[in-house]
């Protein structure tokens, strides 16, 4: 009986960790103050790298 209880506790812990990881997932963005702070290989060749609202972004020009 004790083994089943331990297994149930482990499963519950794993489920809680999975839910926690999905809930707390954040979108990672490149922070910048100028274009020089942005990674140069972020954009495809036809897009222009800009820094707007402290976030690096690729725009059509």
Given a cut of 60, is residue 6 above it in pLDDT? yes
> Whole-model pTM?
0.48
pLDDT in tens, 25-50: 766 677 899 989 888 888 998 999 99
- pLDDT on residue 4: 77
Q: Report which of 32, 13, 16 is spatially closest to residue 24, judged by C-alpha positions.
A: 16
Domain that holds residue 32: 2-60
Contacts of 46 (CB under 8 A, 6+ apart): 60
Q: Give tens-digit pLDDT for 7-27.
A: 889 999 999 999 888 877 766
Other Cβ atoms less than 10 A from the Cβ of 49: the count is: 17
What pLDDT does residue 42 have? 84
Beta-strand runs (E) in the chain: 47-52, 55-60
Using alpha carbons, select from 29, 10, 27, 7 the residue that is nearest to residue 18: 10
State the total domains in the chain.
1
């Amino acid at each position: 009986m004790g083994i089943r209880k331990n297994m149930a506790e482990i499963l519950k812990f794993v489920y809680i960790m999975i839910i926690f990881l999905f809930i707390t997932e954040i979108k990672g963005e490149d922070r910048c103050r100028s274009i020089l702070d942005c990674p140069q290989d972020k954009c495809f060749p036809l897009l222009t790298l800009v820094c707007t609202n402290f976030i690096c972004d690729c725009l059509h020009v």
